[in-house]
Amino acid sequence: MVRMAVIGCGYWGPNLIRNITKVKDCRLVAIADQKPERLESVKHLNSEMKPTTVTSEVIESDSIDAVVIATPISTHFELAKACLQHGKHVFIEKPITTTSAQCRELIRIAQQQRRVLMVDHTFIYSGAVRKLREIIDSGELGDIYYYDSVRLNLGLFQPDVNVLWDLAPHDFSLLTHLLDRKPTRVTASGSSPVSWNGWQRESIAYVNMELDGGAIAHFHLNWLSPVKLRRTLIGGSRKMVIYDHLDTENQIKIFDKGVELRQDQDRYKVLVQYRMGDLVCPKVEQTEPLEVACRHFVHCIQTGEQPITDGNAGLRVVQLLEAAERSMRREGRTPEVWTPNNKAVSARV
Ligand SMILES: NC(=O)c1ccc[n+]([C@@H]2O[C@H](COP(=O)([O-])OP(=O)(O)OC[C@H]3O[C@@H](n4cnc5c(N)ncnc54)[C@H](O)[C@@H]3O)[C@@H](O)[C@H]2O)c1
């Protein structure tokens, strides 16, 4: 029986508490939050949990084997490091840390202490993403041409990060999990039309990536959209697939559509032929992804298996976030671009 604790009972913590409570071979024995009112608001979810506002009580307890960390991103590293150093297995919210150096340090300590380090890249554990991976691995899409992702809504403004660090971990973890292609170049631009907590941080970001083997990827992340969209489109030489997380009836649609280019008899002409084949909506398992992730964490503790979303998966995501952030800070600029009326405008990379 794995004895578990959750640190952080704000917006996401209660979802973790609810799902951990469903996992067999696991008892949720403690919860910690600096705010007593947050502890009060979740106590009905599990009568066994002992609440505390003193986080170190959880970290140092001998009667806790594993800790789930759902606190703001800027606190992840110190909390996870302390938990690992006290011999706890750690399941930590996305993104794992705020720098890749911190992430490498956590991976090193987890290896040294022989403890499980797992990051909550929640969507990886969804039935839809498992199906997507099957489709891509089978080669059904052909050569991958592009990966296009949109994640927008009127967002929950995070206290310590911009929209990139809040939303892109979902999409960067999906990209690195689904496609066996190394990103070779990352460029990004962002916009900060509103300020909160006295900070002017990006609430809209566009990220472009070039991938090994020629495919390109684009990510649209936005906290200022009137509609909620969670869509990923992957196009290949044979078929194209769309993953719409919010379309619960048909989360995955495979289109047998594409273009074929043929040289005409007259060799100066190229004919474009469109292929309009079937649309297939495969069956997708609907278990809540967070429950599957929590079960996987307990399974890895019991068996010593490496989690699917281990420290290295977390590191790949943080490296992409760092690259996009560097680009957004305009560390590279393209030369000036001339408009037709010879007025200079600046294009940034
Ligand atoms: N996987 C997902 O889909 C998903 C969704 C939302 C948020 N998250 C992640 O969950 C984490 C938390 O986000 P949130 O929106 O719940 O934040 P939040 O601000 O609503 O909640 C954080 C809670 O942590 C508490 N806290 C802060 N420092 C603490 C400490 N040292 N010890 C004990 N308690 C402490 C705060 O009092 C607060 O109640 C973030 O990493 C975020 O990226 C993940």
pLDDT band, residue 156 (cuts 50/70/90): confident
Cα–Cα distances (Å) from 81 to 11, 95, 190, 324, in that order, read 23, 15, 32, 26
CA distance 239 to 250: 17
Q: Could you tell me the pTM of the whole model? A: 0.92
pLDDT value for 348: 43
Residue 339 Cα distances to 190, 333, 343, angstroms: 22, 17, 6
Kindly state if the Cβ of 11 falls inside 6 Å of ligand 1: yes
Instruction: Please report, as a single letter, which amino acid is at residue 346.
Output: S
**202 Cβ inside 6 Å of ligand 1:** no
Residue corresponding to tokens 């995955």:
252
> Strand, coil or helix: what is 292?
helix
Confidence of residue 347 (pLDDT cuts 50, 70, 90): very low
Confidence category of residue 261, pLDDT binned at 50, 70, 90: confident
Q: At which residue do the structure tokens 């009112």 appear?
A: 37
pLDDT at site 143: 94
Q: Does the beta carbon of 35 sit less than 6 angstroms from any atom of ligand 1?
A: yes
pLDDT in tens, 25-35: 999 999 999 99
The predicted structure's pLDDT at residue 259: 82
Q: Is the CB of 122 inside a 6 Å radius of any atom of ligand 1?
A: yes
Q: Would you state the pLDDT for residue 264?
A: 72
CA triple 15-18-21, angle to 5 deg: 145
Q: Average the pLDDT over 326-346 and give the result.
A: 58
Q: How confident is the model at residue 267 (pLDDT cuts 50, 70, 90)?
A: low
Q: Is 342 exposed, middle or buried (0-12, 13-18, 19+ CB in 10 A)?
A: exposed
* 31 Cα: distance to centroid of ligand 1 (angstroms): 13
In 224-343 the beta strands, taken as DSSP E runs, fall at 224-236, 240-244, 252-263, 270-280, 337-338
Dihedral angle sign, alpha carbons of residues 282, 288, 289, 293: negative
Q: Answer positive or negative: Cα dihedral of 279, 283, 289, 294.
A: negative
SS3 (DSSP) at 101: helix
Q: Please state the rounded mean pLDDT for residues 96-100.
A: 97
Is residue 206 packed enough to be buried (19+ CB in 10 Å), middle (13-18) or exposed (0-12)? middle
Q: What is the pLDDT of residues 33-76, one digit of tens each?
A: 999 999 999 999 999 999 999 999 999 999 999 999 999 999 99
Three-state DSSP class for residue 98: coil
Q: Using the 8-state DSSP alphabet, how is residue 345 labeled?
A: E
Q: How far apart are CA 236 and CA 41, in angstroms?
A: 48
Measured in angstroms, how far is the CA atom of residue 9 from the centroid of ligand 1? 7
Across the chain, what does the average pLDDT equal? 92
For 137, half-sphere exposure in the C-beta direction (CA atoms, 13 angstrom radius) is 8
Kindly state if the Cβ of 123 falls inside 6 Å of ligand 1.
Answer: no
Indicate whether 330 pLDDT > 50.
yes
CA distance 21 to 336: 57
